[in-house]
């Protein structure tokens, strides 16, 4: 087969034959929603599509994150802010999408849930990638069951890359500051740009925590206190993740800030 631009088959890139459908690979995309239930449960279609949509957004987020991280480390902050604006807007969509999933009732979910075992969001490599590129400690991931062995290698490779948290700490260091100086960043007018970055990063933590909270709330609404298909304690496990923050020092700095009376 003759290949054209970007390794696409020639007819797919030739302006004479290029269409919306060939460019976006719509037929391929629409062939990917295969229900496991028999006869097919109505809501399994929603369940598959919503997860696939999440995975596509995770793909874009991790793609943007690598560029944002580099821009932060190199102090190109206006460029970093543009990327963060995009990622924060996507987070908003991720949180809102849970409302769509909640149009499914627990009884409708139970019609196909048994077929999913032992598949689980636990195994979303892209979600783990996002957490690690944000700043989660790779050591926390050893305990995860259900990860394919080759994914463990991939996560270890990711762990060696600079994370957004790592870039933030690097930038502070370049400016002669450390996380112990964050209160000063908020008080010193000369450090305004850095303060704007801190506000973006605290929103970043806030948005992902919001997603975690909406997810566990939805999980409890669907399955109560049942165990997860991935083998965890379900809502009990998910509630334990609500405290996770990538920039805890930014939150701690609030406690240290002085109140005027
Ligand atoms: C009916 C809908 C859903 C239910 C009942 C559900 C349930 C669960 C449960 C119980 C867990 C804990 C791990 C386990 O034992 O399986 C989990 C983890 C997870 N789920 Fe869902 N989930 C649902 C929808 C979604 C959607 C739409 C996404 C989007 C990608 C998602 C992403 C995740 C992720 C990333 C984790 C890992 C979280 C972590 O370890 O911090 N889930 N889910």
Residue carrying the six token digits 């990711």: 158
Q: Which has the higher per-residue pLDDT, 205 or 12?
A: 205
Please, which residues have CB within 8 angstroms of residue 96's CB and are 6 or more apart in sequence? none
- Evaluate: CB of 234 within 6 angstroms of ligand 1: yes
For residue 104, which atom of ligand 1 is closest to its CA?
1
User: Which protein residue's CA is at the shortest distance from atom 17 of ligand 1?
Assistant: 121
What is residue 9's three-state secondary structure? Answer: strand
Residue 45 has what pLDDT?
Answer: 98
Instruction: For 36-67, write each residue's pLDDT tens digit.
Output: 999 999 999 999 999 999 999 999 999 999 99
Between 5-19, 71-85, 210-224, the lowest mean confidence (pLDDT) is in: 5-19
User: Which protein residue's CA is at the shortest distance from atom 2 of ligand 1?
Assistant: 219
Q: Is the pLDDT of residue 3 over 90?
A: no
- Distance separating alpha carbons of residues 159 and 139, to the nearest angstrom: 9
Segment 140-169 mean pLDDT: 81
**CB half-sphere exposure, 224, CA atoms < 13 A:** 4
Q: Is the pLDDT of residue 199 over 90?
A: yes
Phi-psi map region of 159: left, alpha, beta (phi>0 left; psi -120 to 50 alpha): alpha
- Rounded distance from Cα 32 to ligand 1 centre (Å): 20
- Evaluate: CB of 146 within 6 angstroms of ligand 1: no
- Evaluate: CB of 125 within 6 angstroms of ligand 1: no
- Distance separating alpha carbons of residues 56 and 153, to the nearest angstrom: 22
Q: Which of 94, 121, 122, 237 to mutate to test the pocket of ligand 1 (most atoms within 8 A of CB)?
A: 121
């Amino acid at each position: 087969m003759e290949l054209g631009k970007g390794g696409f088959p020639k007819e797919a890139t030739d302006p004479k034959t290029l269409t919306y459908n060939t460019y976006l690979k719509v037929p391929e995309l629409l062939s990917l929603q295969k229900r496991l239930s028999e006869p097919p449960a109505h809501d399994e279609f929603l369940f598959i599509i919503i997860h696939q949509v999440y995975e596509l957004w995770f793909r874009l987020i991790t793609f943007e994150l690598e560029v944002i991280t580099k821009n932060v480390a190199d102090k190109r902050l206006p460029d970093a802010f543009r990327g963060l604006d995009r990622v924060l807007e996507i987070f908003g969509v991720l949180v809102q999408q849970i409302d769509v999933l909640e149009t499914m009732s627990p009884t409708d979910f139970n019609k196909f849930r048994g077929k999913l075992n032992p598949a689980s969001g636990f195994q979303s490599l892209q979600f783990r990638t996002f957490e690690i590129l944000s700043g989660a400690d790779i050591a926390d991931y050893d305990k995860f069951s259900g990860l394919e062995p080759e994914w463990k290698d991939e996560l270890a490779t990711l762990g060696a890359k600079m994370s957004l948290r790592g870039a933030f700490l690097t930038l502070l260091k370049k400016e002669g500051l450390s996380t112990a100086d964050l209160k000063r960043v908020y008080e010193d007018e000369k450090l305004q740009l850095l303060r704007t970055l801190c506000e973006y990063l605290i929103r970043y933590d806030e948005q992902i925590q919001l997603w975690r909270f909406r997810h566990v709330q939805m999980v409890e609404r669907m399955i109560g206190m049942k165990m997860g298909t991935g083998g965890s304690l379900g809502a009990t496990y998910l509630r334990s993740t609500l405290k996770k923050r990538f920039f805890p020092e930014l939150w701690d700095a609030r406690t240290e800030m002085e109140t005027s009376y």
